[in-house]
Structure 1
Amino acid sequence: MKSSAIALAAALSAAATALPALAAPPSNFGAYAPKALYSQQVATSFYLPMRDGTKIAISLHRPAVNGKPVDTRLPVIWHHTLDIEKTGVRETGAAQSLTDLTRAGYVVAIVARRGNGASFGVRRGYEDFTEGFDAYEITEWLAAQPWSDGKIGMYGCSNTGEAVMHAMIARPPHLKAAFAGCFAWERYDGHTRGGIISQYGTGPTRTLEDDLKATPVQGDEDRTLLRQAAEEHQKSTNLLELMKSMPYRDSWSPLVMAKFWGEVSIGAYLSQLKASNVPLYIQGGWYDDFRTEGLIAQANLPDQARIVIGPWRHCLNNGFDLRAEQLRFFDHYLKGEATGIETDAPIHYFTIGAPKGQEWRSTDRWPRPDARNALFLDAGALKPKPATKTAATSVTVDYAPACPPDPVQPNWGPFAQPCHPAKASFVYSGPVLKADTEMTGSPLADLWISSTAPEQPVFAYLEDVAPDGSVTVVSEGRQRASLRKVVTAPWDTIGTPWRRAWTEDHHPLKAGEPVRVSFDMLAVSYVFKAGHRVRIAVSGAEPRERARVETSPPPTLTLHTGGDTPSSVILPVRSAP
């Protein structure tokens, strides 16, 4: 079988990684279309008191006939979100809100988390124990209502996807299915990836005026109760300040009086998740910073989790009917219907640039990095063997890295995509490809660097350079060099290096002394076309950084190659189908 890596191997002697056989997704993947059972719904909203008296706002949507809710007991799907109007409308291809699942015979509840929307209370920090206990109470309350058949599902994406996972950790007995997208399996790794505060997850921090724009519950049309709730919200923890107060995984924050990373990290509760035995469907996207986190979650829950990853941004699903997949999943696990999902392979993914009609693939396990695919950085090129002599190249770190406007996020908001660091970066190119070359897996960077500063972030980019010189950033990784110590993780990291990043693991750099910094770039499934080049870029700053610590003058970053400092990358080149 001819390998798609041959063109690259001709110059670099790169081996192709053997993977499990690919299979096309089943015919009803993304095309499940159950008959609509109801054409009407009735909505009410109200407050539900929690165990401590905190009033939580709920918007309840029930199927209706002739303007009246049906008296049939039905399964319930609920969303633990920020406002009772936040119903999943970020989904493309499903412009109807989550509440339209009433058509398929579900009761839908939209619940504002405490400290958010019309709910009372104070947000201590996203998905803390308090919110997990709330999720337990709400799930069991929904199961006990006369219009509920006791089978409860949950939906969420982004912070609400993490809310779904924390509900699973709480293990309410009546939670029977969970659909969660774009979340961090381990909060420190997801939100301060590589020990560097990311461009997302540091909100919301809202003014009183902002909170007064939330949707009030019925009966509070004058917004008296909403104002009272909004005033309570002003005591909520500032999430950016919370992150800044916890530079290490074991940091204790005085803002929440806890080692908060451990409290809110899903991976820390792996045994509880397995014991819940709740079927889980994970949504990811190749343009989302949490895609590797989703794959790690699936790998650690192989008997209960499946994942779909498309060519999408955060919580979006352009060109794909995600609602059909949600119904295929919920109809099986909440209604007991045979939808085909029970026999599917657990991983469905889209390969960007694959031949038309062959983009969607399925597999039983995600490929692991293979050291046989190592390429070494040498004099601006990617080579199959390291140079025998050491070499060093230095640049001054650019604290004002510029990117062209992102067409989707022109203001460089939280979900904007990375761009090539044109200034103050190191660039290493492969030869012109003679054939299409697929990479599916997690690229790894294994770099030797030194800096004149004791704290030095390192960013690596996998790039596709077209014949006209245009550059597409396929993936990127980041690592704080002072937290470079790699250890064995307490869970499956799908072959990627993991750092404990405790306070005692902090080792500042000594000026001019090379250190080894190994980290993964985000998972990919991408075809580099014939005539293009594969390129690796390395930089000391990135436009999407939050809370960057700058020195004056900016430090000098040095990349070492060859000899005793053989900087390299492992690229997940795979065999052709």
Structure 2
Amino acid sequence: MMARGMAALVGLCLLGACAAQAPLERPAGWSDQSYYLPMRDGVRVAVSLHFPGGKPPSAKATTILIQTRYGRAVEARRGGSPTDIEMFLARGYVVAVVDTRGSTASFGPRDVEMGPDERADMDEIIAHLAARKWSDGRVIGYGVSYMADTAEFALSRPAPALLASVPRQMDFDAYLQGFLPGGVQNNFLLYTWGNYTLKVDLGRSPRNDALDCRLRVEDCPGLFPDIQPVDEDTDFTLLRQALSGRRHWTPEDYVNAPFRDDKGGNGHSMLDFSPASELAGLIRENKPVMIWGSWMDATTAQAALTRFHSTPDAPVEIVITANNHGHDRSADPFFPDRVAPVPTRDAQFATVFDFMDRVRAGKPVTRNIHYYVLGADTFRDTRVWPPVGVADTRFYFAPEGTLLVQPPAQSAYADYTVDFTAGTGKNTRWSTQFGAPPIYPDRREADAKLLVFDSAAFDTDMELAGTPVIELFAAAQSNDPVFYVYLEDVAPDGRVTYITEGQLRAIHRAPADPETLPYDQGPAPHSFRRADALPVTPGKTMRMAFALNPTAALIRKGHRLRVAVAGADADLFRRYPEEGPERFRVSLGADAASAITVPLRPWR
């Protein structure tokens, strides 16, 4: 009924039959109360409040704070039925959703994501919510994706009312764990996500290019739920003021900023808007946090483990699944036909509520990693990563496409002409960040375009748990190659199952001193700084050691491990070199023994 009311209003306005007004019948996602909250510099941010039962509670309540850049009403619709917010309301929480400055309905420029001013706003927003008449003076941060990053940033702020946060699927380092993993430009994320957010923040619909709220007031109702006006703004005057003349970053700002310390065209590096940039504040505040990630969602598992290692004394609980970005669909490649998430949505929120209840009761939070094992359909717990009992097992590349536990005694080579049509498909760990769930089918056909090496069949069930590291000795035909490495499981019937991957642009191959890095990057780190770049001489053998994304998987008896090497992922990443052929010569054995180190322990 309410949705039809909105649709009818939009239709009339598009025909010019009305003066545009916010709907009397409020559609799903509309808040119980919304208003502009002025910040210290006069910039007004839009706040939506959702109350249990639709009105301010008579008993004091804790506030869940969600800071979004996708629109307050979009966030209110997140999840199934009930929505995430409805789950919180049923537990007696008040939920506050804020459009961060410069995004959607809030005022201000959007020169950068999660910039210094936006982070400073958090102090005022938290203090404001804690002082409401219905508030018990306590706030807990929450969010998925971008909203997870803001929940993490809040933990670094000197905000006494903030008890804890639950970031789900965050990026700790936007450069290395998002836009340029391994120094390789993630075209899908940079352009698809960047242009989507640009369009919405400038008052245009991402689904209907004909709608432009800045240009025509009658178009404004059609932007819901991406943009929701505040309650007093019944004719969209304030909304159009917020959108008018907005300064905004673009994807092109970062196309020519390939190094971690490069400033984009907007004057900000990608590390500048990463939670990792506030590591000192996270350590200083030392507040409890429950971080969710997934082995199959970009690098969110890596982000969670990075945070765990970089704040070794902090009260951190981690949950790593094999679900998609929204945690509403399974993505375990060993069970490709399964759709239901593991754990279920109800079980996920039971875990979240348990954490919040313990924090509110003042109970200690014990450092723990609760992780899913791909192919085993089970979770395990550990207080260290990698888990106790895991031993690094080295497999050496050998002639005839084999992996051996001893290096070949004689030097040999494997030549590979890069197939620039090779890719991982449209439904991957990267695509799930912006919609399409990760679905990895049998990779036999995909591997036909790659250089592959197989181990012998395992004679017992083994758990792979940790961060595989590749050491590659190779020469390239060009002066700007990229090496992609996939770790896979080969079943006795020949089915090839994706486990994890990693990539490195060869100019970044210089090993880094961990003490010089902004946080604990784990094994085989690189700085990705411009000053540390090494030129590539065509035809000259290089040593490259780099980590794949961490994972946990059951490798069953009779199965083999496969390493597949590529020079392109046409579905997702920028091409290097930009034109011309590419050919790799991979060294095998003797003094240049290419190998992969895999963390394994017997399955129990």
Smaller-chain TM-score bracket: 0.7 to 0.9
SS at match of 2:266: coil
Q: How does 1:213-362 map to 2 (within 5 A)?
A: 213=223, 214-233=227-246, 235-238=247-250, 240-253=251-264, 255-258=265-268, 260-289=269-298, 290-302=300-312, 303-317=314-328, 318-320=341-343, 321-334=347-360, 336=361, 342=364, 346-354=368-376, 359-362=378-381
The residue number in structure 1 matching 2:598 is 571
SS at match of 1:179: strand
1:252 to 1:174, Cα distance in 2 relative to 1, 3 A: same
The residue number in structure 1 matching 2:20 is none
* Match for residue 46 of structure 1 among 22, 35, 39: 35
Query: C-alpha distance in 1, partners of 2:278/2:88?
Result: 31
Does 2:10 correspond to 1:58? no
1:468 to 1:295, Cα distance in 2 relative to 1, 3 A: same
The residue number in structure 2 matching 1:373 is 393
SS at match of 2:358: helix
Q: How does 1:508-527 map to 2 (within 5 A)?
A: 508-527=535-554
Q: How does 1:474-513 map to 2 (within 5 A)?
A: 474-489=499-514, 490=517, 493=520, 495-513=522-540
1:382 to 1:263, Cα distance in 2 relative to 1, 3 A: same
SS at match of 2:599: coil
Tell me, yes or no, if the aligned pair for 1:208 and 1:230 is still in contact at 8 Å: yes
Tell me, yes or no, if the aligned pair for 2:369 and 2:382 is still in contact at 8 Å: yes
Does 2:107 correspond to 1:87? no
Shift of 1:467: 2.7
* Match for residue 364 of structure 1 among 379, 383, 387: 383
Query: C-alpha distance in 1, partners of 2:252/2:356?
Result: 38
1:327 to 1:471, Cα distance in 2 relative to 1, 3 A: same
In the comparison of the two structures, how many residue pairs are matched? 523
Shift of 1:402: 4.5
TM-score, normalised with respect to structure 2: 0.81
1:543 to 1:412, Cα distance in 2 relative to 1, 3 A: farther
The residue number in structure 1 matching 2:412 is 391
Tell me, yes or no, if the aligned pair for 2:165 and 2:289 is still in contact at 8 Å: yes
The residue number in structure 2 matching 1:159 is 146
Shift of 1:444: 0.9
SS at match of 1:482: helix
1:405 to 1:495, Cα distance in 2 relative to 1, 3 A: closer
* Match for residue 558 of structure 1 among 585, 590, 595: 585
Query: C-alpha distance in 2, partners of 1:346/1:307?
Result: 6
1:494 to 1:455, Cα distance in 2 relative to 1, 3 A: closer
Does 2:171 correspond to 1:184? yes
Query: C-alpha distance in 2, partners of 1:571/1:158?
Result: 29
1:231 to 1:559, Cα distance in 2 relative to 1, 3 A: farther
Shift of 1:99: 4.5
1:288 to 1:513, Cα distance in 2 relative to 1, 3 A: same
The residue number in structure 2 matching 1:541 is 568
Query: C-alpha distance in 1, partners of 2:495/2:57?
Result: 58
Tell me, yes or no, if the aligned pair for 1:61 and 1:109 is still in contact at 8 Å: yes
Shift of 1:538: 0.7
Residue by residue over 1:374-415, the C-alpha shift from the partner in whole angstroms, topping out at 9 and shown as x without a partner, is: 110111111011112222222222222245564996999676
**Which amino acid letter does the alignment assign opposite residue 84 of structure 1?**
R
Query: C-alpha distance in 1, partners of 2:481/2:409?
Result: 27
Query: C-alpha distance in 1, partners of 2:234/2:563?
Result: 57
Tell me, yes or no, if the aligned pair for 2:44 and 2:107 is still in contact at 8 Å: yes
**Which amino acid letter does the alignment assign opposite residue 185 of structure 2?**
I
Does 2:469 correspond to 1:444? yes
Does 2:389 correspond to 1:382? no
Query: C-alpha distance in 2, partners of 1:551/1:343?
Result: 49
1:522 to 1:96, Cα distance in 2 relative to 1, 3 A: same
**Which amino acid letter does the alignment assign opposite residue 287 of structure 2?**
V
Structure showing greater relative contact order (alpha-carbon pairs closer than 8 Å, 6 or more residues apart): 1
Tell me, yes or no, if the aligned pair for 1:405 and 1:411 is still in contact at 8 Å: no
TM-score, normalised with respect to structure 1: 0.84
Gapped regions of structure 2 (runs ≥ 5): 1-29, 206-212, 214-219, 329-340
Higher fraction of helix: 2
SS at match of 1:308: strand
Output the aligned Cα RMSD. 2.7
1:280 to 1:564, Cα distance in 2 relative to 1, 3 A: same
**Which amino acid letter does the alignment assign opposite residue 422 of structure 2?**
P
Residue by residue over 1:275-318, the C-alpha shift from the partner in whole angstroms, topping out at 9 and shown as x without a partner, is: 11211110011211221121110122243211001121223151
Does 2:103 correspond to 1:116? yes
SS at match of 2:323: strand
Tell me, yes or no, if the aligned pair for 1:371 and 1:570 is still in contact at 8 Å: no
1:353 to 1:345, Cα distance in 2 relative to 1, 3 A: farther
Choose 472-481 or 48-57, whichever is displaced more.
Answer: 48-57
Query: C-alpha distance in 2, partners of 1:88/1:284?
Result: 21
SS at match of 2:322: strand
* Match for residue 461 of structure 1 among 486, 506, 529: 486
Residue by residue over 1:315-362, the C-alpha shift from the partner in whole angstroms, topping out at 9 and shown as x without a partner, is: 31513222112211122223x176xxx4655111111222x6xx1211
Residue by residue over 1:153-172, the C-alpha shift from the partner in whole angstroms, topping out at 9 and shown as x without a partner, is: 10012111111122222332
Between the two proteins, what is the percent identity of the paired residues? Answer: 28
Tell me, yes or no, if the aligned pair for 1:63 and 1:103 is still in contact at 8 Å: yes
**Which amino acid letter does the alignment assign opposite residue 128 of structure 1?**
G
Choose 99-108 or 406-415, whichever is displaced more.
Answer: 406-415
